[in-house]
């Protein structure tokens, strides 16, 4: 039978046993396992909690797992993780946090991740958040992501809040250099009395810099969400930000997209759409034999894929 920690690792990091390649597992505020490779080194910080992940130039096809799991009620965990990705590298980084809280005190994780992506490197960053447990204590997370993209580099971010997080403030700050690109896909689910805030700021500083920030969100029950995005076009560049949200029950969603063209050749677009599930979509699925609730779930699952 799997332990609580093993079940969380499976959900947030696709880890079923010990993964191949480099990894660092943090459990209840302490190191629970680490492995390095010839191309990827992981070192503990000496001045504050967290790790430095150093990826050699030219590294291709390797994956780094850095999950965090918390099963202790009342634990407030803070880490600073810095990533140094060498020139021409092409790697995947899988992060995420799972909280199992069966107590009456808040369990919380705040992770500050800073990426320094070298020239012509490519990074795929996957981050998943999940909470469970029948205690009355909160399951809260506040991730901060800071990105520095050097010339010609690319970063793809996939951030997902699966379910069960009572309160979250998700902040991303990025500076995009010449010919560099940042793509962000956020998927967010809230229910009950949960509250979620997302705040993206992207500075397109380099010539031909680009970004595409897309959020898909579903708010159920009496939960609330706030989406903020700010793209600053400071050179010849292209930027797009989009927020689509489905409202259900008595939930509330606020979308605040902002674009600032500070250069004559900055091309920027923002979009936002919030609304309930269309009646004709429900009717179509219900004619196939689904109940109204089953039809809603099918639509929501397809929307968040």
User: Tens digits of per-residue pLDDT, 62-118?
Assistant: 999 999 999 999 999 999 999 999 999 999 999 999 999 999 999 999 999 999 999
Q: What is the pLDDT of residues 231-272, one digit of tens each?
A: 999 999 999 999 999 999 999 999 999 999 999 999 999 999
Angle between helices 292-303 and 279-286 (to 10 degrees): 120
Which residues, in sequence order, are CB contacts of 50 under 8 Å at separation 6+?
44, 79, 80, 81, 82, 112
Identify the CA nearest to 29 among candidates 93, 95, 74, 65: 74
Q: pTM higher than 0.85, yes or no?
A: yes
* Dist CA 263 CA 267 (whole Å): 9
More confident residue, 3 or 58: 58
Q: What is the pLDDT of residue 2?
A: 58
Structure-token pair, residue 144: 């901060």
Cα dist. 259→30, 230, 270 in Å? 41, 6, 7
**Taking CA 192 as the corner, what is the angle to CA 190 and CA 198, rounded to the nearest 5 degrees?**
30
User: In terms of DSSP H, where are the helices of the chain?
Assistant: 4-13, 279-286, 292-303
Is residue 3 a contact partner of residue 95, using CB atoms and an 8 Å limit?
no
Q: What is the pLDDT of residue 224?
A: 97
Please report which confidence band the pLDDT of residue 18 belongs to, taking 50, 70 and 90 as the band edges: confident
**% of the chain residues with pLDDT over 90:** 80
Query: Quick one: DSSP state of residue 180?
Result: -
Q: What is the pLDDT of residue 294?
A: 78
Q: What is the mean pLDDT of residues 193-210?
A: 97
Q: What is the pLDDT of residue 281?
A: 74
Place of tokens 């949200």: 245
Is residue 91 a contact partner of residue 54, using CB atoms and an 8 Å limit?
no
* Dist CA 189 CA 6 (whole Å): 23
Average pLDDT for the chain: 93
Burial (CB < 10 A; 0-12, 13-18, 19+), residue 289, is: exposed
Q: What is the pLDDT of residue 1?
A: 35
């Amino acid at each position: 039978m799997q332990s609580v920690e093993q079940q969380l690792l499976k959900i947030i990091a696709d880890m079923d046993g010990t993964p191949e390649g480099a990894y660092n597992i943090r459990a209840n505020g302490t190191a629970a396992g680490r492995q390095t490779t010839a191309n990827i080194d992981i070192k503990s910080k000496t001045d504050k909690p967290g790790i430095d992940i150093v990826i050699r130039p030219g590294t291709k096809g390797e994956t780094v797992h850095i999950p965090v799991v918390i099963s202790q009620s009342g634990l407030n965990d803070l880490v600073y993780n810095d990533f140094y990705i060498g020139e021409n590298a092409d790697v995947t980084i899988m992060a995420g946090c799972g909280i199992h809280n069966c107590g009456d005190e808040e369990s919380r994780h705040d992770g500050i991740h800073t990426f320094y992506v070298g020239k012509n490197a490519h990074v795929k960053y996957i981050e998943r958040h999940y909470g469970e447990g029948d205690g009355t204590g909160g399951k809260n997370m506040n991730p901060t992501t800071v990105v520095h993209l050097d010339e010609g580099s690319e970063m793809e971010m996939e951030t997902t809040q699966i379910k069960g997080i009572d309160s979250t403030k998700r902040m991303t700050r990025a500076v995009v250099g010449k010919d560099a690109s940042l793509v962000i896909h956020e998927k967010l689910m809230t229910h009950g009395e949960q509250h979620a805030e997302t705040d993206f700021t992207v500075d397109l500083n380099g010539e031909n810099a680009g970004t595409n920030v897309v959020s898909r969100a579903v708010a159920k029950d009496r939960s609330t969400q706030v989406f903020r995005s700010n793209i600053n076009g400071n050179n010849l560049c292209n930027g797009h930000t989009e927020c689509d949200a489905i409202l259900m029950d008595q939930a509330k969603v606020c979308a605040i997209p902002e674009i600032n063209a500070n250069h004559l050749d900055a091309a920027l677009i923002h979009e936002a759409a919030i609304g309930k599930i269309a009646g004709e979509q429900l009717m179509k699925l219900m004619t196939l034999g689904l109940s109204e609730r089953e039809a809603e779930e099918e639509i929501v699952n397809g929307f968040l894929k």
